[in-house]
Amino acid sequence: MSEKAREALPDDPLADTSQLLSHEVPPGVDRRNFLIRSAVGGAAAVLTGCSVPDSERAAKAAATVPPAKAAEASAPALSADLDVVKKGAGPVLTTVDEFYKVGPGPSSSHTIGPMRITYDFYQRATKLPADQLAKATKLQVNLFGSLSATGKGHGTERAALAGLVGKEPATVDPKFLDAMKDNPDQVFPVKLGDKSINVSLKDIIYDATKGDFKHPNTMTVKLLAGNDVLLEQEYYSVGGGFIEWKGYTPPKKNTPKYPFRTMKELRAHADDNKTTIAKIMMANEMSIAGRSEAEVNAFLDKIINAMTATVKSGLAMPEDDVLPGPIKLHSKAATVYKRAMDDKFQADRGIGVLSAFALAASEENGRGHLVITAPTGGSAGVMPALVYALMEVRKVDRQKVRDGMLAAAAVGYLCKHHATLSAAEGGCQAEIGVASSMAAALTATAYDAPSTVVENAAESALEHHLGMTCDPVAGYVQVPCIERCAFGAVKAWTAYAIASNEIASRHRVNFDETVLALAQTAKEMNSKYKETSEAGLAQSVVLC
Ligand code: SF4
């Protein structure tokens, strides 16, 4: 371990995330193999009582490692230019209206992000001088990396086309997207100044899946005059519906009242001011975005209401409904709910109906209906299940649920700030894992738990999703995604149950350490398991 890391780790585990690993990996040696051998060497030293110096153990481990051979198995490194990479050093500046986004399923990075991207390009194109627009003949979108590999199953081409014709995720009617599916040759006129250009799904091109991209979810959008490019922009859908582009600079924001980079710092603000994490978050929302408390609450209410609505509409679907796509997956939310309600054991009833709520919202996502990113579309069943259970079953006061939404947002912000919310970068741990962690913080806060318990619950839920891969069958956000939302919801409740019943001060792992593990695991995970549908269930499940 470097001196820098030694100084940083005891008090501030997130101070230097570049120094996550125990040893420098020798050049020409496969990192994973080296670490396994190094760890095995360390464990052996403990078991035998034989103290081997760190440097000697590293050298021995290196000697047993075969040369690196699988460069192609590693995900391309994220470009240091991306804001999503740079921002980890400063205070958290995300706000709830950026984080909780309403849009069509099934994937925030593959539907909401691309739709925002092409809508952004459409806005830029309208600002070109009239003489240039007069020459325009064609609009073209090229999808790369994971967007190309699994975009078909996510409806990325329809989302990208909808943005080009001026539709926004929060207001687009899902029926508009469904109609494109039913009539793929449909042509839409796009008005650019006096010019009208026809676009169709043929203008959305599934391009290279592998290459030296700045981000796994890269796409370009062009306005052409014959073969001449009038306007071109490279974009990145960086997870949770967030987007960046080449040359992106984040919008200027006000300084937060209580700046924090870690859960430790956030909790210190709450404890020093004898208040809650939710109150600190509300003060920051107001100072960063320049909004009143009433305005922040109004936004939270909109999201809470949208979450309960997705559960209700999912539960109301016919029991024999079949989700779109080649899997021909039958929806099960309504059946699970009905049968669970008849269960003679109260605890089983509770687990069954909570699962049904998550299945309901997640199936809505699978249908491409409107969902809420919390933090993503694939994980859009988790938070709504807990919100619905708290609001509609437990009848918890709305203000407590609003507070819970703020604490949950803090958890999501920290994971985004130091790790990732994108399955293309970190697998499913970054989606369902973060969602479950957020939902645990929501539940603990709604039940007035102290800040230690809120942190412990969030930590526990995240910890027990570490390493979870993303392998959607046939590229559709259905298997394992829909049931996985149910497990994420139940684990969130379990995490709250443990955290609120254990002796909080004895909880061994803190949230920042687990976020660090999330970042490290994301970095080391084989790229096949990062939303490519090339491995895991996507490979083992055979569709007939
Ligand atoms: S496996 Fe997880 S991360 Fe991957 S698409 Fe499904 S829900 Fe999202």
pLDDT, tens digit (0-9, with 9 covering 90-100), for 497-530: 999 999 999 999 999 999 999 999 999 999 999 9
User: Which of 237, 531, 534 to probe ligand 1 with, by most ligand atoms within 8 A of CB?
Assistant: 531
501: helix, strand or coil:
helix
Q: How far is the CA of 149 from the centre of ligand 1 (A)?
A: 14
Q: What is the pLDDT of residue 266?
A: 98
The share of the chain scoring above pLDDT 70, in percent, equals 84
Neighbours of 60 (CB within 10 A): 13
Q: Which tens digits make up the pLDDT trace of 111-120?
A: 999 999 999 9
Closest by CA position to 125, among listed 227, 270, 200, 230:
230
Go through 365-374 and write b for each residue having 16 or more CB atoms within 10 A of its CB, e for each that does not: bbbbbbbbbb
- Judge if the beta carbon of residue 525 lies within 6 A of ligand 1: no
Q: Which tens digits make up the pLDDT trace of 272-330?
A: 999 999 999 999 999 999 999 999 999 999 999 999 999 999 999 999 999 999 999 99
Rounded-to-integer distance, Cα 439 and Cα 151, Å: 28
Work out the pLDDT band at 47, boundaries 50, 70, 90. very low
- For the segment 480-500, the average pLDDT, to the nearest whole number, is 98
Q: Is the pLDDT of residue 539 over 60?
A: yes
Give the residue, by CA position, lying nearest to ligand 1 atom 3: 428
Q: How far is the CA of 358 from the centre of ligand 1 (A)?
A: 14
- For the segment 442-463, the average pLDDT, to the nearest whole number, is 98
Q: How far is the CA of 215 from the centre of ligand 1 (A)?
A: 18
DSSP 335-368: HHHHHHHT-SSHHHHHHHHHHHHHHHHHHHHHTT
Q: Is the dihedral of CA 434, 437, 441, 446 positive or negative?
A: positive
Q: Is the pLDDT of residue 441 over 60?
A: yes
- Judge if the beta carbon of residue 428 lies within 6 A of ligand 1: yes
User: Which of 147, 365, 484, 533 to probe ligand 1 with, by most ligand atoms within 8 A of CB?
Assistant: 484
Q: What is the pLDDT of residue 258?
A: 98
Q: Is the pLDDT of residue 82 over 70?
A: no
Give the residue, by CA position, lying nearest to ligand 1 atom 8: 378
| Whole-model pTM over 0.85 | no
Neighbours of 188 (CB within 10 A): 17
Rounded-to-integer distance, Cα 238 and Cα 419, Å: 12
Q: What is the pLDDT of residue 40?
A: 35
Q: Range with the lowest mean pLDDT among 228-232, 352-356, 529-533? A: 529-533
- Cis, peptide link before residue 375, omega less than 30° from 0: yes
Q: What is the pLDDT of residue 86?
A: 53
Tokens of 521: 């695991």
Q: Is the pLDDT of residue 85 over 60?
A: no
Q: How far is the CA of 431 from the centre of ligand 1 (A)?
A: 7
How high does pLDDT run on average in the chain? 87
Q: Is the pLDDT of residue 422 over 50?
A: yes
Work out the pLDDT band at 72, boundaries 50, 70, 90. very low
Work out the pLDDT band at 49, boundaries 50, 70, 90. very low
The share of the chain scoring above pLDDT 90, in percent, equals 77
- Judge if the beta carbon of residue 153 lies within 6 A of ligand 1: no
Work out the pLDDT band at 154, boundaries 50, 70, 90. confident
- Judge if the beta carbon of residue 104 lies within 6 A of ligand 1: no
Work out the pLDDT band at 531, boundaries 50, 70, 90. confident
Closest by CA position to 475, among listed 26, 127, 150:
150
- For the segment 414-418, the average pLDDT, to the nearest whole number, is 96
Q: Range with the lowest mean pLDDT among 35-49, 317-331, 474-488? A: 35-49
Q: Compute the CA torsion angle 524, 526, 532, 535 (nearest 10 deg).
A: -140
- For the segment 261-269, the average pLDDT, to the nearest whole number, is 98
Q: Range with the lowest mean pLDDT among 64-68, 214-218, 472-476, 513-517? A: 64-68
Q: Which tens digits make up the pLDDT trace of 191-214?
A: 998 999 999 999 999 999 999 999
Q: Is the pLDDT of residue 30 over 80?
A: no
Q: What is the pLDDT of residue 309?
A: 95
Neighbours of 68 (CB within 10 A): 17
